[in-house]
């Protein structure tokens, strides 16, 4: 009698680091098949996948840190049509009791993926949305540095010699930047001359950073309009808000199976805090805070120019809610509207 050999179904787990990835392989019964380390290079990613496939058919891989050290590996696995789920770092209490090691974390990642504890599909990070993310990083840095330079200028003006302080103290920041950036250095080393030199340096830095922000904004606007024209058409959504929401959803927003999933991702879904006879919900402080802020900006804009939003706020306040609580309710409703405008494959969703 001939017995047919059935290929094993493999679940992988990866603990990612800057220079090395530690992988573990489990079979369909949860038995540990092996642990191995691989370099964080394109060749290392190929060897890691080949190693997993040597045990059988790879069905799922749990990766710790798909948005940081595991981003490159995640892109490689997704390009080979292998499902990847995001694994949170191990529970601190368990780690304190059982100890911590890279092989142990890799096995824990594999078991979390296989056992269903890790269910969030990883972002693909291979399209326009990933380009928006890196541009937003540069934009945030430029805006923060510009603000820092301007604050330093204000501080220098407040302590500058009387003649220089009288010239600049009552001017708007734009006039200060224009005047200070045109100061000439005469080579003298007195306090007034060197204060002007410092102000000129900071002013030119602030103006340069402002140009960087404008250039990034132009690129972001083109990417957002190309990627999500329906989202841009939503009332209260501009380039900055749209890009923040798209970055939260990722290049593959079909991974978000329902509008409730998206609301939880944005941190606008209230959490059940009931106990005994007391039934209540509490504020959700988790989720993507930039996406949460983007939804707040939509609500705030509509509170100014949308009669329906104004009427809703008034009605909820008459019902005993505070204005802040009414805004939180509106953010949940807005998340539903925004979710419907995301660019996605409708066939990958439970709820359109």
Q: Per-block average pLDDT, block size 10, for the chain (352 residues)?
A: 66 95 95 96 96 95 93 94 89 70 92 90 91 97 97 95 93 95 93 96 97 97 95 95 96 90 92 79 86 96 94 93 91 95 60 40
Let me know if residue 4 belongs to a domain: no
Question: What's the pLDDT score for residue 205?
Answer: 98
Q: Which domain holds residue 169?
A: 128-227
Integer Cα distance of 260 and 257 in angstroms: 8
Let me know if residue 17 belongs to a domain: yes
Query: Same structural domain for residues 222 and 237?
Result: no
Domain end, chosen from 227, 256, 281, is at 227
Which CATH number fits the domain that encloses residue 34?
Answer: 3.30.420.40
Bridge-partner residues for 15, per DSSP?
22, 64
Would you state the structure tokens that stand for residue 224, as one six-digit string?
């957002």
Question: Rg of the chain over CA atoms, in angstroms?
Answer: 27
CA dist 52 → 22, 170, 208, 260 (Å):
12, 68, 50, 35
Query: Same structural domain for residues 234 and 330?
Result: yes
Let me know if residue 3 belongs to a domain: no
Question: What's the pLDDT score for residue 272?
Answer: 81
Query: Same structural domain for residues 185 and 136?
Result: yes
Query: Same structural domain for residues 152 and 215?
Result: yes
Q: Hunting for tokens 């392989």 — which residue is that?
A: 25
Query: Same structural domain for residues 176 and 251?
Result: no
Q: For strand 20-26 and strand 9-16, is the pairing parallel, antiparallel, or unpaired?
A: antiparallel
Query: Same structural domain for residues 60 and 132?
Result: no
Q: How far is CA 326 from the centre of its chain?
A: 26
Residues of the chain by 3-state class (helix, strand, coil), percent to 5 = 55, 10, 30
Domain end, chosen from 169, 196, 227, is at 227
Query: Same structural domain for residues 138 and 204?
Result: yes
Let me know if residue 123 belongs to a domain: no
Query: Same structural domain for residues 211 and 253?
Result: no
Would you state the structure tokens that stand for residue 327, as one six-digit string?
């805004």
Query: Same structural domain for residues 57 and 32?
Result: yes
Let me know if residue 2 belongs to a domain: no
Query: Same structural domain for residues 81 and 159?
Result: no
Domain end, chosen from 174, 202, 227, is at 227
Would you state the structure tokens that stand for residue 316, as one six-digit string?
């909820």
Question: What's the pLDDT score for residue 4?
Answer: 52
Question: What's the pLDDT score for residue 285?
Answer: 86
Let me know if residue 173 belongs to a domain: yes
- Count of domains in the chain? 3
Angle of helix 289-305 versus helix 307-318 axis, rounded to 10: 100
37 three-class SS:
strand
Query: Same structural domain for residues 101 and 35?
Result: yes
* Cβ atoms of residues 147 and 100 within 8 Å: no
Give strand ranges (E) for 119-239: none
């Amino acid at each position: 009698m001939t017995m047919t050999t059935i290929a094993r179904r493999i679940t992988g787990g990866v603990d990612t680091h800057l220079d090395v990835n530690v992988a573990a392989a489990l079979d369909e019964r949860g038995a540990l098949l092996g642990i191995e380390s691989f370099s964080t290079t394109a060749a290392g990613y190929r060897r890691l996948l080949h190693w997993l496939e040597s045990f059988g058919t790879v069905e799922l891989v749990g990766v710790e840190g798909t948005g940081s050290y595991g981003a490159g590996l995640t892109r490689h696995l997704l390009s080979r049509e292998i499902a990847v789920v995001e694994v949170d770092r191990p529970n601190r209490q368990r780690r304190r009791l059982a100890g911590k090691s890279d092989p142990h974390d890799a096995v824990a990642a594999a078991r979390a993926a296989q056992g269903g504890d890790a269910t969030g599909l990883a972002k693909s990070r291979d399209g326009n949305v990933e380009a928006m993310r890196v541009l937003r990083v540069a934009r945030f840095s430029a805006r923060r540095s510009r603000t820092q330079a301007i604050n330093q200028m204000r501080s220098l003006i407040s302590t500058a010699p009387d003649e220089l302080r009288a010239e600049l103290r009552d001017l708007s920041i734009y006039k200060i930047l224009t005047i200070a950036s045109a100061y000439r250095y005469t080579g003298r080393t007195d306090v007034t001359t060197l204060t002007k030199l410092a102000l000129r340096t900071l002013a030119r830095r602030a103006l340069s950073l402002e140009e960087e922000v404008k250039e990034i904004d132009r690129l972001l606007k083109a990417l957002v309009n190309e990627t999500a024209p329906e989202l841009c058409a939503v009332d209260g959504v501009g380039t900055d808000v749209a890009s923040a929401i798209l970055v939260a959803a990722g290049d593959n927003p079909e991974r978000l199976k329902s509008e409730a999933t998206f609301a939880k991702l944005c941190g606008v879904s209230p959490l059940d805090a009931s106990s005994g006879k007391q039934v209540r919900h509490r504020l959700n402080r988790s989720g993507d805070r930039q996406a949460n802020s983007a939804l707040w900006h939509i609500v705030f804009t509509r509170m100014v120019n949308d009669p329906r939003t104004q009427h809703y706020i008034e009605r909820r306040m008459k019902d005993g809610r505070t204005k802040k609580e009414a805004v939180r309710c509106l953010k949940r409703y807005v998340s539903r509207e925004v979710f419907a405008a995301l660019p996605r494959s409708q066939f990958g969703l439970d709820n359109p």
